[in-house]
């Protein structure tokens, strides 16, 4: 990528590759041209495997710290002895384009996989066009490397891969509990942590759920006196926004600080393709968003607990992306919408139940 030409890989390649017997499927977060501070591109790569050994995926890129200048590429490729090789198969979306800026989106990227660090290092060779020639990629993947089951009540050090990792106790990532690749903790019950990487983050960066199970029974802890609650101080610096009121045609409750389910936003089974019944609700939501330009939303995708958890995680992210793409197509600025997928970790009803295959929206600052 060159100084005046932005080449981004955001929803990273949904490609699956093998280095030895190691699968490269999943979500990778990183950057292109990390050491060129005038043209670097934070990137997200999602990788998935087709029948046989072929790989496919999505590559999302952002122009430096400009969240409104992005591109999404469809990728295809194959595994190699060292990692995988991917090539651009087409441009899916682009935001913030101008005549003075373009993306180097035709080329091949050869990736080398480091299993110890869960790291991908890629060298891109682009078809000659203007200043497009080569690019260098660095991606990391969050994975649990310590034991998935720990003794109840014992001090255990949880260890993960990733770069500039942050551990949260909640899926909304508001309760930070640790930073770094290790977390010493005593667990008394099976617990799910939600991890992010602060290594060139974007609005599309994934939240990765890591579940640690507990074996045995922890000794009873002596009760501790609880301090008296401190009343919350009122926020006098800014007014509280009025609740989001949607037109009657939208079968959606008002969006608030808590996640709100969109009951008519449904998808074809096992895909991220929106059904026609979703259009009235999404059109009404887009109308309200355009009427309130200060409003920002997080779109969260969920699945039922049917099938493999890793595939459910990817599917939930794809469904959230599909809703965002619809709203952007309807005229909502992409930078006002963030997405996250929770897979099958947050069911509302006992599985199996189609109502767990849902999308939620939540107002964010």
| 296 within some domain | yes
| 244 within some domain | no
Cα distances (Å, whole numbers) of residue 264 to 179, 237, 274, 310: 38, 37, 10, 25
The pLDDT of residue 234 is: 46
Residues constituting the chain = 365
| 251 within some domain | no
| 332 within some domain | yes
The pLDDT of residue 51 is: 72
What percent of the chain lies above the pLDDT cut of 70?
82
The pLDDT of residue 101 is: 73
The pLDDT of residue 270 is: 78
Residues 6+ apart with CB under 8 A from 305: 312, 344, 347, 351, 352, 356
Cα distances (Å, whole numbers) of residue 291 to 248, 298, 327, 347, 356: 16, 18, 13, 33, 30
CATH number at residue 23: 2.40.128.120
Whether 18 shows a pLDDT value over 60: the answer reads: no
| 222 within some domain | no
Report d(CA 285, CA 246) in Å as an integer. Answer: 7
How do residues 69-123 score in pLDDT, each as one tens digit?
999 999 999 999 999 999 999 888 889 877 767 788 789 999 999 999 999 999 9
| 235 within some domain | no
Q: Averaged over 195-204, what is the pLDDT?
A: 92
Q: What angle do CA 199, 209, 121 make, to 5 degrees?
A: 35
Q: Averaged over 11-31, what is the pLDDT?
A: 61
The pLDDT of residue 166 is: 93
CATH number at residue 349: 3.30.1330.60
- Asked whether residue 286 falls in the same domain as residue 353, the answer is yes
The answer to whether 117 touches 161, Cβ cutoff 8 Å, is yes
The pLDDT of residue 19 is: 41
Last residue of a domain, one of 116, 140, 164: 140
The pLDDT of residue 30 is: 95
pTM over 0.85? The answer is no
How do residues 154-197 score in pLDDT, each as one tens digit?
999 999 999 999 999 998 888 899 999 999 999 999 999 999 99
- Asked whether residue 104 falls in the same domain as residue 181, the answer is no
Report d(CA 20, CA 17) in Å as an integer. Answer: 9
| 115 within some domain | yes
Exposed / middle / buried, residue 201 (Cβ in 10 Å: 0-12, 13-18, 19+): middle
The answer to whether 302 touches 356, Cβ cutoff 8 Å, is yes
- Asked whether residue 135 falls in the same domain as residue 158, the answer is no
pLDDT band at 2 (very low <50, low <70, confident <90, very high): very low
| Domain enclosing residue 327, as ranges | 260-364
**Minimum mean pLDDT range among 108-112, 137-141, 256-260, 298-302:** 256-260
The pLDDT of residue 252 is: 43
- Report helix angle 279-291 to 309-329, nearest 10: 60
CATH number at residue 178: 2.60.40
The pLDDT of residue 275 is: 83
- Asked whether residue 117 falls in the same domain as residue 54, the answer is yes
- Asked whether residue 63 falls in the same domain as residue 135, the answer is yes
The pLDDT of residue 220 is: 66
Report d(CA 161, CA 115) in Å as an integer. Answer: 10
Q: Averaged over 261-268, what is the pLDDT?
A: 79
- Asked whether residue 126 falls in the same domain as residue 176, the answer is no
Last residue of a domain, one of 95, 119, 140: 140
- Asked whether residue 34 falls in the same domain as residue 91, the answer is yes
Number of domain units in the chain: 3
- Asked whether residue 190 falls in the same domain as residue 281, the answer is no
Q: What is the CA radius of gyration of the chain?
A: 21
- Asked whether residue 178 falls in the same domain as residue 273, the answer is no
The pLDDT of residue 226 is: 67
More confident residue, 270 or 314: 314
- Asked whether residue 92 falls in the same domain as residue 50, the answer is yes
* Per-chain mean pLDDT for the chain: 81
| 190 within some domain | yes
How do residues 209-258 score in pLDDT, each as one tens digit?
999 999 988 776 556 666 666 554 444 443 444 444 444 434 444 445 56
Task: Render the burial of 131-145: b for 16+ CB within 10 Å, e for the rest.
Answer: ebeebbbbbbbbebe
């Amino acid at each position: 990528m060159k100084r005046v030409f932005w080449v981004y890989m955001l929803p990273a390649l949904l490609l699956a590759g093998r280095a030895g017997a190691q699968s490269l499927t999943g979500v990778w977060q990183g950057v292109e041209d990390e050491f060129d501070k005038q043209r670097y591109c934070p990137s997200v790569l999602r990788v998935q495997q087709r029948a046989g050994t072929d790989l496919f995926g999505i590559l999302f890129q952002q122009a430096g710290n400009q969240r409104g200048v992005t591109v999404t590429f469809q990728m295809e490729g194959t595994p190699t002895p060292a990692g995988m090789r991917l090539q651009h198969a087409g441009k899916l979306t682009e935001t913030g384009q101008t005549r003075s800026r373009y993306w180097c989106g035709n080329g091949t990227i050869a990736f080398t996989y480091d299993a110890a660090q869960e790291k991908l290092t890629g060298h891109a060779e682009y078809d000659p066009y203007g200043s497009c020639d080569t690019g260098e990629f660095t991606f990391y993947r969050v994975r649990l490397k310590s034991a998935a089951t720990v003794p109840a009540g014992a001090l255990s050090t949880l260890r993960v891969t990733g770069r500039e990792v942050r551990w949260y106790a909640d899926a909304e990532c508001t309760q930070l509990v640790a930073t770094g690749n290790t977390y010493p903790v005593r667990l008394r019950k099976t617990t799910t942590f939600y991890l992010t990487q602060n290594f060139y983050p974007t609005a599309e960066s994934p939240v990765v759920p890591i579940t640690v199970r507990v074996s045995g029974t922890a000794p009873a802890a002596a009760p501790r006196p609880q301090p008296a609650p401190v009343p919350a101080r009122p926020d006098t610096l800014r007014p509280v926004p009025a609740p989001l009121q949607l037109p009657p045609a939208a079968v959606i409750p008002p969006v608030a600080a808590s996640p709100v389910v969109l009951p008519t936003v449904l998808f074809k089974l096992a895909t991220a393709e929106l059904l026609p019944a979703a259009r009235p609700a999404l059109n009404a939501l887009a109308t309200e968003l355009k009427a309130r330009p200060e409003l920002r939303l997080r779109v969260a995708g969920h699945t039922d607990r049917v099938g493999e958890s890793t595939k459910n995680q990817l599917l939930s992210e794809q469904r959230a992306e599909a809703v965002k793409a619809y709203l952007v197509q309807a005229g909502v600025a992409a930078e006002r919408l963030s997405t996250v997928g929770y897979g099958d970790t947050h069911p509302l009803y006992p599985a199996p139940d189609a109502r767990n295959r849902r999308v939620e929206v939540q107002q964010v600052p």
